[in-house]
Amino acid sequence: MLTPKENFLETVRGGKPDRYSNQFEALALQWCSPQDVRHPDTECGKAPAQNAWGVWFEWPEGTPGPFPLQDPEHLLIRDLEHWRNYLKMPETEFPEEEWAWIVEEADKVDRSRQLVTAVFWPGLFENSHHMMNMENCMVNLYEEPEIIHEIIDMLTEYELKMARNIIDHIHPEALYRHDDWGSQRSTFMSNNMFREFYLEPTKKIYKFWKDNGVEVVIHHSDSYGETLIPEMIEMGIDVWQGALSTNNLPKIAEEYKGKLTVMGGVNNGIVDRADWTPEKVSAEVNRVLDWVDSPYLIPNCTFGGDISSFDGVYQAVTDAISAYNEKKYRWR
């Protein structure tokens, strides 16, 4: 029987997995820089928290995750023309003692069974609209393209500096990076606009990680996004995590095997609810796996990590996939 890491890599490479790779079992996620300690995420129902860029986030109870506060009092970039007055690059160099526990956690991972996986969020698009709100960001792509390019350049420079430090300290084998590019039914922008603003900078970021030892790039976008698959492949993405079942997952799994692997299909909006039960979760997992019917899917909640909004849901999905593997896996 293949280890979780081996089975995951067989799936991603279009090879011969001996079962469905089960959610994040092959990925040892590392929340992995001193920035995460200096600027911790807000907790559900707790007071708002400010990230390293100065964006405020809150996580109201009953919602699936933290959201940026963008009222006039909290909005970061209030005058785009003078954006440099509001936006300063966070520190990227930290004393070695701040890295010590991060290195220690990475060293605990059995690399024969799991890939040490650096986690980085938010990505370029998310960071952009966090700073100026979604509506302003989308309008500014049309009306102020030069300024948006300048902002993206700064965000890219920051990501590359952070990547260098993370790589030097924990030597990750995989990267798990967040940047949501769509809603349930559509991408947020056309392919042409996406290519104009976000393709080349993101491609540069992923190339840097891969040039420095990262074997697999996993990109989170819990959305519709199949029309962006050519761009994803060009960027160097190996796994699209968070793919909703509003995408044509059976077609994607087979057409792009070995080029881009879908990780998702189990929509959190369907299973991750206050009224969830193991039976409901199992029924949805079985429906998705029967529908896709391909060894080149990695079944997974579409949430951006190995957790769920409601306690127990993530584990219930894991258990349902395990049960499916035992009873119905067709590619042994």
Model pLDDT for residues 180-204, shown as the tens digit of each residue:
999 999 999 999 999 999 999 999 9
Model pLDDT for residues 83-99, shown as the tens digit of each residue:
999 999 999 999 999 99
Which pLDDT value is given to residue 132? 96
Model pLDDT for residues 268-302, shown as the tens digit of each residue:
999 999 999 999 999 999 999 999 999 999 999 99
What residue segments make up the domains of the chain, in order of their start?
A: 27-256
Model pLDDT for residues 224-249, shown as the tens digit of each residue:
999 999 999 999 999 999 999 999 99
Distance CA 246, CA 241 (A): 14
The token duo for 72 is 């006039």
Structural domain 27-256, CATH architecture: Alpha-Beta Barrel (3.20)
Average pLDDT of the residues in 124-129? 97
Predicted TM-score (pTM) of this structure: 0.96
Of the pLDDT bands very low, low, confident and very high (cuts 50, 70, 90), residue 330 is low
Indicate if the pLDDT at residue 175 is higher than 70.
yes
Question: Would you list the DSSP string of 165-214?
Answer: HHHHHH--SEEEEE---B-SSSBSS-HHHHIIIIIHHHHHHHHHHHHTT-
Distance CA 147, CA 169 (A): 34
